[in-house]
Amino acid sequence: MAIAPNSPAARDIAYQLHPYTNLEAHQKTGSLIIREGKGIYVYDDSGKQYIEGLAGLWSMSLGWNQERLIDAATNAMRKLPFYHQFGAKAHEPGIDLAEKLIGMAPVKMSKAFFANSGSEANDTAIKIIWYYNAVRGKPERKKIIARLRGYHGVTLAAASLTGLPHLHKYFGLPIAEVKHTSCPYYYRNAQPGETEEEFSTRLAAELEKLIQDEGPETVAAFFAEPIMGAGGVLLPPKGYFEKIQAVLKKYDILFVADEVICGFHRTGNTWGSETYGLKPDILTCAKALSSSYLPISGVLINETLFQALAKGSAEVGNWGHGYTYSGHPVAAAVALETLKMYEDLDIGGHAKRISPTLQNGLRKFADHPLVGEVRGIGLIGAIELVKNKKTKEAFDPKAFVGLYLTNRAQEHGLIIRAMGDHIGFCPPLIIKNDEIESMLSKFGKALDETHAMVKEKGLV
């Protein structure tokens, strides 16, 4: 379709640099222009309706056009549109939100720090970890271990943690302090005949060997998402986190739970850490913290870490970290109202009640010729496309089969995300059973059309 001169699409091509976009292709195809949203739906500039099957970016938990959140933002804007938290300044929305989050934490935490994105939260966590070790006389403990296929953001340090090649190539990353260990991807990485427990035992042993090879006295922390989101919605195999945490404890290595996607009822509990038995020293959260109505993220730390920060700040004169918009009063007010809505509307209970509709619906595609694995829990899931079901042979990445499928789904009024040939589902938590069924019906049409395409092109 031709792009009209001076249209929003044409001006978008002319002036915007898009994240996570094939910039060369975008110059020809342009963008889907979204004009408005309501509930689980968004509408483009022609008025076409789409089910937002990924809640925007795993984040629009309460859907669009929630009047309570709009009112919370409006009222906060009128009262205190901005104030900072530097130099022992505070405001009630920030105080209330910190108190609320500490009370909700899956393990005992002491303090909450606010930033503006998951990337900033994870960067902050690294700085806290380095500060903590320096204060306790172990400045050599600076190495951070993350996992291949993990995702922790796009700032220099957070992108280094992320274990995806396209976040490293040409950026000169990862930084030297970040090391990567094996990905708990049972479908692809398990050895023949290896049970999930055996696989987890092997991965824990590989982590321990990495620590020993690097020198335990140089390793500071381990970062992990409860479920690996952008890596393909990879669920931990049986016994994985129990075995991993035992290794971390053995070597006095801090554990950071990245709850940016999993937090706030996505996995069937308030936190993914509760779902999988994580006991983190630091927890980062964002996205559904404000249902993405305004940018805000949080870093929760335990008392041991806080005491080190306090001691160091007394020696230096202050704790030299923070952002202009840390705990922005309007964003904090919206986040607080979001948490209240989760309680008032029993969003956690609703998500648990309807999650079987999503999970059972996804698993109905397991026998499709293109489907290698279906995985998920709660209201998050993925379908992995394969060239050969028996051998698990993948398509050539340059065939862009997953992208073709999501483009077909978009034509049918469904927005979902292809992470290579992993198709992610993460609808708003307010979605209803009939809307899930509609979403899966649209996906089914796109899947069949993709199958027809790969047969026609001789890709299978």
Residue 426: CATH number of its domain: 3.90.1150.10
Pair 128, 299: CB distance under 8 Å: yes
Question: Tens digit of pLDDT for each residue in 147-189?
Answer: 999 999 999 999 999 999 999 999 999 999 999 999 999 999 9
Instruction: Let me know whether 269 and 396 are in one domain.
Output: no
Instruction: Let me know whether 39 and 72 are in one domain.
Output: no
Number of domain units in the chain: 2
Rg of the chain over Cα atoms, rounded to whole angstroms, equals 22
Separation between Cα atoms, residue 206 and residue 217, nearest integer Å = 17
Dihedral over Cα of 428, 434, 440, 446: its sign:
negative
Pair 151, 162: CB distance under 8 Å: yes
Name the residue with tokens 């309570």. Answer: 68
Instruction: Let me know whether 182 and 266 are in one domain.
Output: yes
Question: Tens digit of pLDDT for each residue in 217-269?
Answer: 999 999 999 999 999 999 999 999 999 999 999 999 999 999 999 999 999 99
Separation between Cα atoms, residue 151 and residue 167, nearest integer Å = 10
Question: Tens digit of pLDDT for each residue in 393-432?
Answer: 999 999 999 999 999 999 999 999 999 999 999 999 999 9
Per-residue pLDDT at 4: 87
Instruction: Let me know whether 313 and 406 are in one domain.
Output: no
Instruction: Let me know whether 41 and 83 are in one domain.
Output: no
Per-residue pLDDT at 445: 98
Per-residue pLDDT at 225: 98
Taking residues 125-138, report their average pLDDT.
98
Residue 245, in any domain of the structure? yes
Question: Tens digit of pLDDT for each residue in 292-338?
Answer: 999 999 999 999 999 999 999 999 999 999 999 999 999 999 999 99
Instruction: Let me know whether 323 and 388 are in one domain.
Output: no
Average pLDDT, the chain: 97
Compute CA 25 distance to the chain's CA centroid, rounded to the nearest angstrom. Answer: 26
Instruction: Let me know whether 293 and 242 are in one domain.
Output: yes
Per-residue pLDDT at 1: 62
Residue 439, in any domain of the structure? yes
Q: Of all helices (H) and strands (E), which one includes residue 198?
A: helix 196-214
Identify the domain boundary among 292, 318, 344: 344
| Domain residue limits at 398 | 32-65+348-456
Taking residues 74-80, report their average pLDDT.
98
Pair 409, 446: CB distance under 8 Å: yes
Per-residue pLDDT at 2: 80
Residue 1, in any domain of the structure? no
Instruction: Let me know whether 162 and 202 are in one domain.
Output: yes
Instruction: Let me know whether 289 and 212 are in one domain.
Output: yes
Identify the domain boundary among 305, 326, 344: 344
Residue 20, in any domain of the structure? no
What DSSP character marks residue 145? E
Torsion angles phi and psi, residue 144, rounded to 5: -120, 130
Residue 101, in any domain of the structure? yes
Identify the domain boundary among 298, 326, 344: 344
Instruction: Let me know whether 322 and 401 are in one domain.
Output: no
Instruction: Let me know whether 114 and 220 are in one domain.
Output: yes
What DSSP character marks residue 301? E
Pair 139, 312: CB distance under 8 Å: no
Residue 6, in any domain of the structure? no
Question: Tens digit of pLDDT for each residue in 245-258?
Answer: 999 999 999 999 99
Amino acid (1-letter code) at residue 209: K
Position 436 confidence tier, pLDDT thresholds 50, 70, 90: very high
Instruction: Let me know whether 262 and 171 are in one domain.
Output: yes
Residue 18, in any domain of the structure? no
* CATH number, domain containing residue 284: 3.40.640.10
Residue 415, in any domain of the structure? yes
Task: Report pTM.
Answer: 0.96
Q: In which region does residue 268 sit, left (phi positive, over 0), alpha (psi from -120 to 50) or beta (all else)?
A: left
Asked whether the predicted pLDDT for residue 383 surpasses 80, the reply is: yes
